[in-house]
Structure 1
Amino acid sequence: MATHLVSRSVVIDAPAQTIFDILAAPHRHSEFDGSGSVKGLVEGPERLTRGARFGMDMVLGLPYRISNRVVEFEEGRRIAWRHAGPHRWRWELAPFGDGATRVTETFDYTRAPRGVYQLLGIPARNARGIERTLPRLKRLAETG
């Protein structure tokens, strides 16, 4: 069985906890989203933890709202959320020396129906979004 993951990484000149604090603040997600689909927090906590639920205003052609739940959580190291779909958005942070951190964003669709996501072009579209998101996150974390 093939693994269906789309991942990209960047090294950020900031401690992992600084970056994680941005990722764990759902009201900041639209600041670093490079896909252009995340418009703002509708409801949710100030800071995400395992099991936390949060809703976002989104747009992909048409505006809509989506509810997410944090399904993976390791303080300062890893966070992932999902909504009603079978895929997950995962962020992993690893020390990279001299206070820098390697950040990997992954669109994990291993639980999705085989072929459907590829047919719809979702992996390629999400790869482009990740490639625009990581530099935005880097700027936020490095400039405060």
Structure 2
Amino acid sequence: MTLKRMDNVLIVVDDLEAVKAFFIELGLTLEGETTVEGPLIGKLVGLERVRSTIAMMRTPDGQGIELDKFHTPNAIRYGPVDAPVNTLGFRRVMFSVEDIDAVVARMRAHGAELIGEMQYGTTYRLAYIRGPEGIIVALAEQLG
């Protein structure tokens, strides 16, 4: 059996509207949104009395980010919102962009915080930004 592809990454959020707006500003599109609930969903995710709203975001090349707002049971915050990059667990998602300076400026104008930036030789420029709910997004621009 061979791995075929990655379908999406899940991010559990509290303020679904703010996080959707952040990713739309970054360049993703909202593919769809729905509320799911009931015993089958609970059995799948290992929780009881689940009710959540899911928004599926897509990158221009079709990759998915699933945003999930739990109504019941309430989501649990584990650690600080502004946890550093070396915190255990999934910490960031990276996107390839054109004109990293323009993307960083646009995202900062919409409330994102610049964590840091660097140039990797003559091949890439990188920047880390923090968006709503502490979500870390890495941006990579291929040079030349």
Pair member with larger Rg: 2
Q: TM-score, normalised by structure 2?
A: 0.31
Decide which structure has greater helix share: 1
Q: TM-score, normalised by structure 1?
A: 0.31
Q: Which has the higher contact order (CA 8 A, sep 6+)?
A: 1
